[in-house]
Amino acid sequence: TNLQQRRREGPAAALLWQKPRSAAQQRHSVTAILSKMAGADGDDSLYPIAVLIDELRNEDVQLRLNSIKKLSTIALALGVERTRTELLPFLTDTIYDEDEVLLALAEQLGNFTMLVGGPEYVHCLLPPLESLATVEETVVRDKAVESLRKISQEHSPVDLEVHFEPLVKRLASGDWFTSRTSACGLFSVCYPRVSSTVKAEIRQHFRTLCSDDTPMVRRAAASKLGEFAKVLELDYVKSDIISLFTALASDEQDSVRLLAVEACVSIATLLPQEDLETLVMPTLRQAAEDKSWRVRYMVADKFSELQKAVGPEITKNDLVPAFQNLLKDCEAEVRAAAANKVKEFCENLPEDSREQIIMTHILPCVKELVSDTNQHVKSALASVIMGLSTILGKDNTIEHLLPLFLAQLKDECPEVRLNIISNLDCVNEVIGIRQLSQSLLPAIVELAEDAKWRVRLAIIEYMPLLAGQLGVEFFDEKLNTLCMAWLIDHVYAIREAATCNLMKLVEKFGAEWAQNTIVPKVLGMANDPNYLHRMTTLFCINALSEACGQDITTKQMLPVVLKMSNDQVANVRFNVAKSLQKIGPVLDSNALQTEVKPVLEKLATDTDMDVKYFAQEAISVLALA
């Protein structure tokens, strides 16, 4: 009765009403349980378990937590019967603890079916989970609901009606909002497997919660509406769900209305095409024009799903104008969400009228967005706009999209330019990149010199791709200098990426190209007064030697590396050792023995311990000892 009373009041209240247990009392209760569990015959094998159980009561949260996490061990040791008769009541009784412990407990109980004796006894787990499902803390409650959903599948249909469904009902009519919120997530798991009378009750409970007094519960119900609709018979979807959907979609709180938009997708998928117009569309139209931007944002965000759910006809008649409005919305958030969907929306338009719809309805809006005042809108658009070229084909792309790409390539915001450049491959397939090259170059140059190193880094990563598409001549003429300039960037990450970039370029354009264009410049840096630049030479050699092959490595790179072994900066010297180790395998054995070995041996006697170390390492790896 004490427990029932506590359950009624909820755990938080129980905690506060509860008298603190004195240490002696606590010890007493634990030993009582221990002696009970360990048995009067002094069963020593249970001692470790007794310790774990003792720790369930420890003052230190961490110890309690550890013990809870080993709950399955305890249960396994006790056996199914004692787990049912002793451990579970004990847990149910000590449930008023730190949220962290409760979370662990809620999770554990979801995997407890076998430990209480299999599906036949799974209902024993319901009382503690029921209490956990009423806790104030959201994560605990959610975890308890998750576990309840899991074990509901392990109930037999009879047990589901005898044990599980009454629990759902109790939660659904709880005093405090937490239990009603939890109930919302449980209807759909038991509905398909109960008798029709119980089904009717469940529907009734769900209806009640959809018009609950507190917005928290209505939100929970709205977020489960789609899921619940899926398990209902079609007739009830039409008679029950639609009215609930309509009501929630016109709730006084926008936080409820926006969740109804999510449900709209599932509901529309369930209904036959001919019912959509009357049952769903009025609500959807209203949501797309809601006075709260949050709701409109949600519509924009779910637009592709909605489009698929309502089918081509309604898309043509309703969604196209709605999408146009969202693209022109007064809030940047909404416009950005809609801009993100432009490509997907166009792709999914019915083929017979796709081009016409895009050209007459969507493209004008897109044109406006290109010069939007908000950079996030432009950036969202830039990340998808290139995809339109494959849909519209070569001529339309050149005539209509190209000017937009060019405009975005000149945008003041680097993210916009970057998004365009990173999607160049889509355009390349349709019209070839050369159409863009005139504007591409200034954009790339500007990004290459952007003040933000992350922007520079991003553009470097697209270099190999661009090089491949633009061809070697264009590259040499326009981009080569950039690639070399990055090697002396003041940010290490850029220099590193630039080195890696060179390697990829050489892989693309071949060793001969490298020998003529890159290698001389890289080697030239070996005489730079800045030791960081001298080290970059070494890093480049590390990266390039393999791609350039033995000839270039031995004849051009090796002498430079060897010369640098006399550098006055120790960092350069030990990097010489590392480089020699790296390029060693590319060299022939003659060069190794006559040129590399003496230098490494000299470095191995260096005054600096790091130089010594790396020289010795190189000697042993190259087997020169």
List residues near other proteins by CB under 8 A.
12-13, 15-17, 20, 136-138, 176-177, 213-216, 219, 252, 254-255, 291-294, 297, 301, 330-333, 336-337, 375-376, 414, 450-455, 491
Q: What is the largest CA-CA distance in the chain?
A: 94
Q: How far is the CB of 34 from other proteins (least distance, A)?
A: 25
Distance separating alpha carbons of residues 15 and 5, to the nearest angstrom:
12
Q: How far is the CB of 144 from other proteins (least distance, A)?
A: 15
Q: Which is nearer to other proteins, 220 or 564 (CB)?
A: 220
Q: Which is nearer to other proteins, 158 or 451 (CB)?
A: 451
Q: How far is the CB of 523 from other proteins (least distance, A)?
A: 31
Q: Which is nearer to other proteins, 240 or 262 (CB)?
A: 262
Q: How far is the CB of 261 from other proteins (least distance, A)?
A: 13
| Helix runs in 424-471, H state only | 424-431, 434-448, 453-470
Residue 341 has phi, psi (to 5 degrees) of -100, 0
Q: Which is nearer to other proteins, 178 or 501 (CB)?
A: 178
Integer CA distances (angstroms), 369 to 324, 372, 374, 410, 436, in order:
11, 5, 9, 14, 20
Distance separating alpha carbons of residues 426 and 386, to the nearest angstrom:
6
Q: Which is nearer to other proteins, 252 or 473 (CB)?
A: 252
Q: Which is nearer to other proteins, 218 or 343 (CB)?
A: 218
Q: How far is the CB of 58 from other proteins (least distance, A)?
A: 15
362 CB contacts (<8 Å, ≥6 apart)?
Answer: 320, 323, 324, 327, 342, 345, 346
Q: How far is the CB of 344 from other proteins (least distance, A)?
A: 16
SS3 625: coil
Q: How far is the CB of 404 from other proteins (least distance, A)?
A: 22
500 CB contacts (<8 Å, ≥6 apart)?
Answer: 543
Q: Which is nearer to other proteins, 137 or 355 (CB)?
A: 137
Are the C-beta atoms of 426 and 464 separated by less than 8 Å? no
Q: Using only the alpha carbons of the chain, give its radius of gyration.
A: 35
Q: Which is nearer to other proteins, 40 or 330 (CB)?
A: 330
Q: How far is the CB of 422 from other proteins (least distance, A)?
A: 17
Q: Is 477 exposed, middle or buried (0-12, 13-18, 19+ CB in 10 A)?
A: exposed
Are the C-beta atoms of 537 and 526 separated by less than 8 Å? yes
Q: How far is the CB of 296 from other proteins (least distance, A)?
A: 9
Q: Which is nearer to other proteins, 462 or 574 (CB)?
A: 462
Integer CA distances (angstroms), 21 to 7, 15, 428, in order:
19, 12, 74
SS3 210: helix
Tokens of 77: 């040791």
Q: Which is nearer to other proteins, 125 or 337 (CB)?
A: 337
* DSSP at 527: G
Distance separating alpha carbons of residues 583 and 574, to the nearest angstrom:
14
Distance separating alpha carbons of residues 261 and 273, to the nearest angstrom:
18
63 CB contacts (<8 Å, ≥6 apart)?
Answer: 55
Q: How far is the CB of 420 from other proteins (least distance, A)?
A: 18
